[in-house]
Amino acid sequence: MASKLYVGGLAYSVNDDQLREMFAALGTVVSAQVIVDRFTNQSKGFGFVEMSTEAEAQQAIKELNGKDMGGRPLMVNAARPREERPRNSFDSSRQQGNNRSRY
């Protein structure tokens, strides 16, 4: 079973391929993704790596957590499940009486 890791403290210049290479020396990387801002397409400084086994994931945490990369210490730990958040509705301001036509 694959194990997903959170990787924080990434330099903003790191891309998906570089993140994959960073973890490939410690085991089989199933996926690697740097999270980017949807409007600017700039890195947010963190990402997720999925290792093929739990043992490889634990080894990656042990080897890379706190390691200095590009002048910044990495934070590597097991990823938590994504929290469900209510979806924003762009129409909600109109429905709540924010009608400027009255002025």
pLDDT, tens digit (0-9, with 9 covering 90-100), for 60-99: 999 999 998 878 899 999 998 877 778 776 655 555 555 5
SS3 of residue 27 by DSSP: coil
Characterize the bridge pairing of strands 29-36 and 43-51: antiparallel
CATH number of 3-77: 3.30.70.330
Domain edges within the chain:
3-77
SS3 of residue 57 by DSSP: helix
> Whole-prediction pTM value?
0.77
